[in-house]
Amino acid sequence: MSDVSSPDHGSSTAEAFIADNIAESLAILNNTGLSEQQRSEQFETLLLSMTDTQRIATFTLAQYHKNTPQADQDAFANAFQKYSIAIYRSYFSRFSGQTLTVTGSSLRAPADFIVTTKLKDPHDHSGQSPLEVDFRVRTDAGRPEVTDLNVMGVWLAISERDQFVSYLNAHSGSVPNLTAHVIQVTAQLGQPPSDR
């Protein structure tokens, strides 16, 4: 039996994980038989099952993570989770009606893969190339998890880290201030934080 972290088995696991979960995400957002509330709840449940928002939240704090009290880290991680749901929903809504095809994957490091996909609108006859969307998938937590998303050459978590560090640099490194800012941005995205 091959080890999950071996390149061949790990790549196929990561690719299947993305193919299945992203297809399901798009199906939820495109399901007109569901109410807006039902679509939102189902998308949130699926997203939280396939992403490691705690790991991403820690990454986005960069050097500020080390000296931040645990309670402030937890409050930020909670706000970041709701922010992530809003951001991912915004991205995936752009893909409404499109088909996703996994085209391959590459190994960054042991148990760390980049899965490449193409999104194509079946009704677009303009001849434009399909949009490439890459997913960073880690398999070292016992199951595959998405830790980043690349659309048009921009890695989301890296972009968030740059924005958050810039904000912290300008606000005396206050993570509570950043948490309040993230909550405000989430509300502006039209996805007010839920009670979950």
2 lies in a domain?
no
Q: Report the alpha-carbon distance of residue 155 to residue 136 in Å, rounded.
A: 9
- For the chain, first and last CA: distance in Å? 39
Q: Report the alpha-carbon distance of residue 70 to residue 68 in Å, rounded.
A: 6
138 lies in a domain?
yes
1 lies in a domain?
no
146 lies in a domain?
yes
Residues near 53 by beta carbon (within 8 Å), at least 6 away in sequence: 77, 80, 81, 84
147 lies in a domain?
yes
The domain of 116 spans: 7-188
195 lies in a domain?
no
144 lies in a domain?
yes
Q: Read off the pTM.
A: 0.81
Question: Would you write out the chain's pLDDT as a tens digit for each of its 196 residues?
Answer: 223 333 445 688 999 999 999 888 888 888 889 888 898 889 889 989 999 999 999 999 999 999 999 999 999 999 999 999 999 888 877 777 778 889 999 999 999 999 999 988 777 777 777 888 999 999 988 889 999 999 888 999 999 999 999 999 999 999 999 999 999 999 998 744 444 4
CATH number, domain containing residue 46: 3.10.450.710
Q: Report the alpha-carbon distance of residue 87 to residue 102 in Å, rounded.
A: 22
162 lies in a domain?
yes
Q: Report the alpha-carbon distance of residue 87 to residue 91 in Å, rounded.
A: 6
- Burial-class residue 158 by CB neighbours within 10 Å (0-12, 13-18, 19+): middle
DSSP β-ladder status, 112-120 and 99-109 = antiparallel
Counting the structural domains of the chain, the total is: 1
Q: At what angle do helices 36-50 and 70-94 cross, to 10 degrees?
A: 120
Residues near 172 by beta carbon (within 8 Å), at least 6 away in sequence: none
Q: Report the alpha-carbon distance of residue 186 to residue 82 in Å, rounded.
A: 7
Closest by CA position to 60, among listed 145, 172, 167: 167
